[in-house]
Amino acid sequence: MPKKNLLAAAENLPVPIELIERRIYLIRGQKVMLDSNLAELYLVPTFRLNEAVKRNLKRFPADLCSSLRPKRRSL
């Protein structure tokens, strides 16, 4: 896609691209976006975003989603 078309597409986004770019962090050479920031952009509670991801794991590549929290141990 030519640069001219990219700029036109960016102008039609419901969220300004600068707002998205500010929420992308570079951690250990990887671009990372926190679930809370992503949920804010989609205007949904964070737990609902995480529920949707869990329900649709096959739609997300394994390297796209990761967790920084340790998994709970079942007793």
Does position 60 have pLDDT exceeding 60, yes or no?
Answer: yes
Q: Which of 9-18, 43-52, 60-69 has the highest mean pLDDT?
A: 43-52
Where is pLDDT greater, at 10 or 61? 61
CB of 23 closer than 8 Å to CB of 37: yes
- Confidence at 22, pLDDT banded by 50, 70, 90: very high
Q: Over the stretch 46-56, which tens digit does the pLDDT of each residue have?
A: 999 999 988 98
3-class SS letters over 11-47: HCCCCCHHHHHCCEEEECCEEEECHHHHHHHHCCCHH
Tokens matching residue 67 = 């967790």
What's the average model confidence in pLDDT over 44-71?
Answer: 82
